[in-house]
Structure 1
Amino acid sequence: MPFTSYTSRPYASQPSAGRREWIALAVLLLPCLLVSMDVSVLYFAVPFLTAQLEPSSVQQLWILDVYGFVLAGLLITMGALGDRVGRRKLLLSGALLFGLASGLAAYSGSAEMLIAARALLGVGGATLMPSTLALIRNLFHDAKQRGKAVAIWSAAMMGGIAIGPVLSGALLEHFWWGSVFLINAPAMVLLLVCGPLLPEFKNPAAGRFDLPGSLLSLLAMLPLVYGIKEIARDGVSALPVVALAAGLLAAAAFVHRQRTARHPMLDLELFRHRGFSVSVLMNLLAMFAVVGCAVFFTQYLQTVRGMSPLEAALWNLLPTLAVGGMTAVATSLAQRMDRAYVIALGFAIAAAGFVWLSWLEPGSALWYVLVASSVYASGLVMVMSLGNELAIGVAPPERAGSASALLESGTELGGALGMAILGSIGSAVYRGHMDDAVSAGLPSGAADAARETLAGAAAVAGELPGRAGEALLAAARTAFTDGLQTAVLVAAGVMALAAALAIALLRGLRTTEGEGPKGAGAGDAVDAAGVTGPGAAGVGGAADVAGAGTGI
């Protein structure tokens, strides 16, 4: 169905949200918080579950990655399914599955069982993520109220990822590793109890569910994310390249299917409108920088500065608190000036933060790292908050689930690309510097380990006597920091390019408060550029900005 058909039919005037809508938002914060926490809560538990379950190296990687793979692969499917069967129904079904899978993960007796449980958690997470943002689109029709609502949603997402490692570390000090999963269960029970307070929304004209399209979206996203992450981790090899090629072919087939199917999963007409397509691109570029650089800062604090994981996670909360206020700043600015310039300003602030970090040294003061990380994260929160709200605002209410899923898919791909490209650049610089630093007297295995990663060099240095170990570790820390400096400079360049693109592609894009065609309400008005959406920029957010967004 053409995009314009949604905007050409009459809508009643859009009422302001009342107490019921704000209570419904409070209910929606539960899945936001838990799904975002589950992204990072497992980090500290890996040594403990490894000791008990004894997974192989491949199994350990799947324990960490399968959640994200399944989540990314099913986002589009679940967003489209929610548009058809009802977003509340899908949300509550996902809550039930997420709670049951959490219990299964907590009491897993083998690595295989834990991998299966993590995969089920990914399925549950894929139902929860697009449903929450889509329901906000339906609950809040007034642009300013929707902006506040999505700002609160954004804060919950950011807080969940930032709190996840801290909560995980605290639980592991007193309980067994499965406790990091059991914390999900009470919240999911509460969501199931409170869920009936949410109104139901679905697209009555959606038609039959496109099962072939769903399979093609899965066959596209899974290989793409897998291939990118594997290249980021182990470099270019045959299997990841084949996976990328297969994913691209499946993606082309998926697009063809959506163009020709009688009842497609996605309305590709969304991408004809700047407000949506450019927002997806902006989110992708922002997450490219966020996730790509976060990989370095985690190692910097723990291996270069010698912090424990819990200590690093606690310091991570400080920039997160600083970032939270930028959503309100972005909203205020966008109500007074062209949002293209506000988004460009966000990218420029991020670029400045990355340039600042390019002077980071192994012995730099901790405040230097924290403040610089807060600067670039603040800029990217501005970008993603305005971009998300704009994209959801221009999407027809009937298609809000699909639009939310596409936004989330863009952030997943952006993060994976950031890990692959920026990670590869930093690793190449590290290896180049370590070629000269590694002593010729080291055994070949130890020399290779020291050249490959900072963690490997630290392990080798611990086995060397006295000054030899200290010299190797100092050289490795310097080489790693040099790689970090190069990666953040590349990120700064991408941010500068993104700022220019934001001005070029979004300048002059406005929505109108007032009457649209045939009595359309303010929330669905049509501007001269053919874009529908709220009259004022609101605040959104992204699930991944928080933990990775602070860059630590």
Structure 2
Amino acid sequence: MRRKYIILIIIILIYLPVTIDATVLYIAIPTLSEALNLSNNQLLWVLDIYSLIMAGLILPMGALGDRIGFKRLMLLGTVIFSFASLLAALSNSAYMLITARALLGLGASIILPATLAGIRHTFTDDKERNYALGIWSTIGGGGAAVGPLLGGFILEHFHWGMIFLINVPITLVVMVLIQKFVPVQQVNAQQRLHLQQALILISSILMLIYALKTSFYVLDWKILSLFIAGVIGLIYFIRMQKSTDNPMVDLSLFANRIVSTSIIMAVVSMMALVGFELLLSQELQLIHHYTPLEAGLFILPFMIAISVGGPFASWLMNKYPLHYLASVGMLMCATSFMGLAQINFAEQSNWAWVWMVLMGISIEIALLSSTAAIMSSTPSEKATSAGAVEGMAYELGAGLGITLFGLMLSYFYTQSLIVPQAVIDHVGIQHSLAETIKTASDLTDKEMAKQLVTAAEQSFSVAHRQVLYVAGGAFFFLAAFVYLRLRHLKQQVSH
């Protein structure tokens, strides 16, 4: 009995850094940009490579756990995560930090299925397992919630590298505890790993996103070739999934319109979550000159609403039809984006928190609705595959949210930036506020620097509002789409 809860403590200890690292860097954007002289494109890679690597590898790493046992899987993931954290803390260039974040994503993709497998094998009683899963879920939401606040506190008092360095002692302790308390499991040596399929998928995704990001700055035959290669890779991956007897992703799930709609909801909801945090953290620090800790505290109500909104959303799901609840969740999110686009965050903080809490709850409703729809319409023998695909959708949505919100912000920023031609001739076109501020600080002509910063801040505020309006409009459309797609849910499930 005692060993069960020691193993649960071990799982909590290693899962917490994984969840924190998903959000901790949002507050550090201005600091990282200045410390490592990051371009806007490099900054987006630092942020989203973590989620993209997880999205591509989480399924085969779950299969690896069946093959070697969750003890070895957890130990392997912890070692990689520890090394990657140290590498990230010592990074002195953009490419070194991007590489470290990719390795962190690899470690996280191994740790996540290991923690779930650990709970499944350790707690054989259903009630005890549900209790353990509840704690696991709370840690997931709580870690994401505390990430920006922890990042702000660290940046207030320490070097930015400490954001990653704090993972190292935790992971070292976990390694010792795993070796001492976690028993070796029986394994399935015949379990297929799908590593080749995973590498094709993740390579294709990365090529497409690299081409998309780079084409914003320069478009030539190399970028087009890379984009075409990514498309061909995805087509080949899909054909492979259809032709193999043991695919990594069960594409037959997507033939069910409820499942496919719910996956879209999961991806878009995660895009909204991380995209909004990306915008807000920059707005607060670069425009309103909040400290990292103040910015973390400002964002906290949004993350808490997401973390604790689960019970409220569950209560609603037991009272109202799923298609109503899902579409209302999308509609609330759209309304929140529109409301946030019309306020000044520094001067109307109370209204900002109201809209942020509403958005957090609406995102949680959307995520739970998508899960419920998938579980209610998926045959029991495919429930595990459906859950794994949805988990992959969450991580893919997080990565895409950073990419798309970041590119929209950069586009509207450059379109609305109005400065004298003499300034443009002297410094060129800048694609982000952080880049512009860095350029202005290097100018010897202080009057020109002042003009540039003032114009850049005004342009960023305009761009921020425009991105929020676009996101709000997209969610209004999605609300109608979800309602029309899910309104016949009961009839479909009963057949």
TM bin (shorter chain): 0.7 to 0.9
Cα offset, 1:528, TM superposition: 2.0
- Letter matched to residue 491 of structure 1: A
2:323 corresponds to which residue?
340
Paired residues for 1:101-500 under 5 Å: 101-106=84-89, 116-132=99-115, 152-171=135-154, 177-192=160-175, 193=177, 207-230=191-214, 234=217, 239-274=222-257, 276-361=259-344, 364-388=347-371, 391=374, 402-434=385-417, 437-442=418-423, 444-446=425-427, 448-449=429-430, 452-459=431-438, 473-500=453-480
Cα offset, 1:485, TM superposition: 2.0
Counterpart Cα distance in 1 of 2:79 and 2:316: 40
Counterpart Cα distance in 2 of 1:155 and 1:295: 23
**Alignment CA distance shift 1:254-1:445 (3 Å):** same
| Cα deviation code 1:476-533 (max 9, x no counterpart) | 333322222222122112212222232233335359xxxxxxxxxxxxxx9524xxxx
SS of residue in 2 equivalent to 1:360: coil
| Cα deviation code 1:421-455 (max 9, x no counterpart) | 44444433333332xx3123425133623xx3333
Counterpart Cα distance in 2 of 1:198 and 1:491: 48
1:7 corresponds to which residue?
none
Counterpart Cα distance in 1 of 2:174 and 2:478: 39
SS of residue in 1 equivalent to 2:193: coil
1:501 corresponds to which residue?
481
1:532 corresponds to which residue?
none
Cα offset, 1:376, TM superposition: 1.7
Counterpart Cα distance in 2 of 1:22 and 1:342: 37
- Letter matched to residue 263 of structure 2: V
| Cα deviation code 1:62-97 (max 9, x no counterpart) | 666654453333233223433554455423431233
| % identity of equivalent residues | 33
Is the Cα–Cα contact under 8 Å of residues 138 and 397 in structure 1 kept in the other structure?
Answer: no
- Letter matched to residue 456 of structure 2: A
- Letter matched to residue 309 of structure 1: P
> Bigger shift: 313-322 or 453-462?
453-462
| Cα deviation code 1:448-469 (max 9, x no counterpart) | 23xx333344456665988876
Is the Cα–Cα contact under 8 Å of residues 78 and 126 in structure 1 kept in the other structure?
Answer: yes
- 5+ residue gaps in structure 1? 1-17, 512-525, 530-552
How many residues are paired up? Answer: 492
Cα offset, 1:369, TM superposition: 2.5
- Work out which of the residue numbers 69, 78, 82 in structure 1 matches 2:65: 82
**Alignment CA distance shift 1:440-1:170 (3 Å):** same
Is the Cα–Cα contact under 8 Å of residues 229 and 419 in structure 1 kept in the other structure?
Answer: no
Counterpart Cα distance in 2 of 1:51 and 1:467: 22
Cα offset, 1:332, TM superposition: 0.7
Counterpart Cα distance in 2 of 1:303 and 1:49: 13
Counterpart Cα distance in 2 of 1:414 and 1:152: 24
- Letter matched to residue 349 of structure 1: M
Is the Cα–Cα contact under 8 Å of residues 271 and 398 in structure 2 kept in the other structure?
Answer: yes
Cα offset, 1:284, TM superposition: 1.1
| Cα deviation code 1:183-234 (max 9, x no counterpart) | 22343345442685699698x69753344323322332332343445457x4
Is the Cα–Cα contact under 8 Å of residues 223 and 247 in structure 1 kept in the other structure?
Answer: yes
Tell me how large the CA RMSD over aligned residues is: 4.4
Cα offset, 1:37, TM superposition: 1.7
**Alignment CA distance shift 1:46-1:268 (3 Å):** closer
Cα offset, 1:139, TM superposition: 8.1
Counterpart Cα distance in 1 of 2:386 and 2:186: 15
TM normalised by structure 2 equals 0.80
SS of residue in 2 equivalent to 1:448: coil
Counterpart Cα distance in 2 of 1:351 and 1:284: 15
Cα offset, 1:368, TM superposition: 2.8
**Alignment CA distance shift 1:289-1:168 (3 Å):** closer
Counterpart Cα distance in 2 of 1:400 and 1:89: 25
**Alignment CA distance shift 1:97-1:411 (3 Å):** same
Counterpart Cα distance in 2 of 1:47 and 1:491: 23
Is the Cα–Cα contact under 8 Å of residues 97 and 121 in structure 1 kept in the other structure?
Answer: yes
Q: Of the two structures, which has the highest relative contact order with CA contacts closer than 8 Å and spacing of 6 or more?
A: 1
**Alignment CA distance shift 1:326-1:169 (3 Å):** closer
Counterpart Cα distance in 2 of 1:187 and 1:256: 42
Cα offset, 1:301, TM superposition: 0.7
Counterpart Cα distance in 1 of 2:295 and 2:279: 13
1:93 aligns with 2:79: no
- Work out which of the residue numbers 33, 42, 66 in structure 1 matches 2:16: 33
1:72 corresponds to which residue?
55
| Cα deviation code 1:373-411 (max 9, x no counterpart) | 222222112211332455467767887765454324323
SS of residue in 1 equivalent to 2:342: coil
Cα offset, 1:98, TM superposition: 1.8
Counterpart Cα distance in 1 of 2:370 and 2:145: 22
**Alignment CA distance shift 1:79-1:319 (3 Å):** same
| Cα deviation code 1:134-173 (max 9, x no counterpart) | 6667889999998876665444233323433433444455
- Letter matched to residue 373 of structure 1: M
Counterpart Cα distance in 1 of 2:58 and 2:69: 15
Cα offset, 1:354, TM superposition: 0.7
Is the Cα–Cα contact under 8 Å of residues 33 and 434 in structure 2 kept in the other structure?
Answer: no
**Alignment CA distance shift 1:63-1:347 (3 Å):** closer
Counterpart Cα distance in 1 of 2:383 and 2:69: 11
**Alignment CA distance shift 1:268-1:83 (3 Å):** farther
